[in-house]
Amino acid sequence: MGFLDGFGLTFGKLFDERVTTEYPEEKRPKALRTHGRHVLGRSEDGMEKCIGCELCAGVCPANCIYVRGLDNPPDDPVSPGERYGYVYEINYLRCIHCDLCVEACPTEAITETKMFEFSFTNRSDAIYTKDDLLVGDDGRPQHLPWEDWRPGEDEHTSAWMRATAPSGDASYAGKIAWSSELGYGTRAAEEGQTEDDSVAGAEE
Ligand code: SF4
Ligand code: SF4
């Protein structure tokens, strides 16, 4: 009779509320801190935030970032630093979206959007160059032909920051500790943990 029990279980589940969706026609909202495709941001004055320091490449566990810095032209600097990112590449055949590059960047130049729906048919498309990664003159990411951006996902991508992580110091919750971004100004602080949460967590 075991197989009848199995059929009965299956039949009973036909009337349960579905937990799956008709992807990709129907998509669920993404979490606020989803790790997706990177962008290289610009400051409000349009300058590139990347100073070519290579810290992101050094920390990347998948060894998928390649950076070469170059001295800024004195008369027409590209970034506020001495140097700028002359070559910048991310190989998305390797990237595991761990976000360590974002954590390591001293200028908040490299950040991640929530757009992760992109696929490639050849290797060169998977290696994003600086031209692909740098936000445009309006502060928005480039839209490449194989990327599936949904409305609103290309906004506020370059100031996505880490300062209000739930595991962080509660006294910093809600305080802005990041720079402004081209087209959007300074992003508002997220609501994070409270002092009470911190005390409760410490006692567990
Ligand atoms: S998200 Fe992680 S794996 Fe991807 S480029 Fe950054 S450090 Fe490397
Ligand atoms: S993205 Fe940030 S960490 Fe990477 S080279 Fe540029 S400034 Fe340095």
Q: Tell me the domains of the chain and their CATH numbers.
A: 27-160 (3.30.70.3270)
pLDDT of residue 197: 53
**pLDDT at residue 33 is higher than 90:** no
Is the separation of the CB atoms in 109 and 135 below 8 Å? Answer: no
Q: Which residue has the tokens 């498309």?
A: 125
65-71 β-sheet, strand order: 65-71, 83-91, 127-128
Q: What percentage of the chain reaches a pLDDT higher than 90?
A: 49
Highest mean pLDDT among 83-87, 154-158, 170-174, 184-188: 83-87
Higher local confidence (pLDDT), 19 or 78: 78
**pLDDT at residue 196 is higher than 70:** no
- Provide mean pLDDT across the span 79-90: 95
Q: List pLDDT tens digits, range 132-166.
A: 999 999 999 999 999 999 888 888 776 555 544 55
pLDDT of residue 157: 77
pLDDT of residue 159: 57
Closest C-alpha to 111, from 168, 34, 59: 34
Q: List pLDDT tens digits, range 112-122.
A: 888 999 988 99
Q: Which has the minimum average pLDDT: 47-56, 128-137, 168-177, 182-191?
A: 168-177
How far is Cα of residue 93 from the mean position of the Cα atoms in its chain?
A: 16
pLDDT of residue 156: 75
Question: Residue with the nearest Cα to atom 3 of ligand 2?
Answer: 105
Question: Residue with the nearest Cα to atom 6 of ligand 1?
Answer: 101
Q: Atom of ligand 2 at shortest distance to CA of 88?
A: 5
Tokens (6 digits) for 146: 């194989």
Cα(196)–Cα(202) distance, integer angstroms: 10
Closest C-alpha to 62, from 126, 152, 134: 126
pLDDT tier, 51 (very low <50, low <70, confident <90, very high otherwise): very high
DSSP 72-115: PPTTS-SSSSSEEEEEEEEETTT-----HHHHH-TTS-EEE-S-
How far is Cα of residue 97 from the mean position of the Cα atoms in its chain?
A: 8
Q: Atom of ligand 2 at shortest distance to CA of 104?
A: 3
Closest C-alpha to 202, from 162, 163, 194: 194
Q: Give me ligand 1 centre to Cα 115, in Å.
A: 15
Higher local confidence (pLDDT), 169 or 25: 25
- Provide mean pLDDT across the span 17-25: 87
Q: Which residues, listed in sequence order, are joined to residue 173 by a DSSP beta bridge?
A: none
